[in-house]
Amino acid sequence: MTGKQSVVRFSVSLPPSLVREFDEVWKSMGYESRSKAVHDAFRSLISEFKWMSEEAGEIIGAIVLLYYVDKPRLLNQIMHVQHKFEDTIRSSMHVHLTRDKCLEIIAVKGNAQEIKQLTQELMIKKGVKQLKFTAISP
């Protein structure tokens, strides 16, 4: 064996617009291949998840949520989740980006596991395009 790890090839179905945007980004960042950029994106997602799953105690931070308002019942689902975590959510700001796309910024303070649960419940909703959580030290 040459020391190089073997790879697994698999296919992924994505909207053409997302592929075009991803290709523009990885090229402008200086990556030599799409595969390396996807590898790093996977690593980033896994690292974020592991960090959140290992974190314990009280933390503060912000959830940034990008979603499409034209998805049936999505706004009600997001509001329901937020009310479920009313002791954790300190404030939120809603920004209209386009006719059908909104940004929600949610300030949180509380138990790390509750914040993790909140982010996961929001992330899995159909119509949520992207979610990022940033923890900060007080």
* Confidence at residue 42, expressed as pLDDT on a 0 to 100 scale: 86
- Domain count for the chain: 2
Q: Check whether residue 72 and residue 41 sit in a common domain.
A: no
Parent domain of 128: 57-136
For residue 98, give Cα distances in angstroms to 101, 102, 124, 128, 138: 5, 7, 22, 15, 34
Q: What is the DSSP track for 32-63?
A: S-HHHHHHHHHHHHHHHHHHHHH--SEEEEEE
Residue 108 CA to residue 90 CA, distance in Å, equals 5
Q: Per-residue pLDDT for 52 more than 80? A: no
Q: Is residue 2 domain-resident?
A: no
Is residue 114 in a domain? yes
Tokens of 56: 């314990």
pLDDT of residue 7: 86
pTM for this entry: 0.66
Quick check: 1 pLDDT over 50? no
Percent of the chain residues topping a pLDDT of 70: 90
Do 121 and 82 lie in a common domain?
yes
Average pLDDT, the chain: 88
Shared domain check, 38 and 97: no
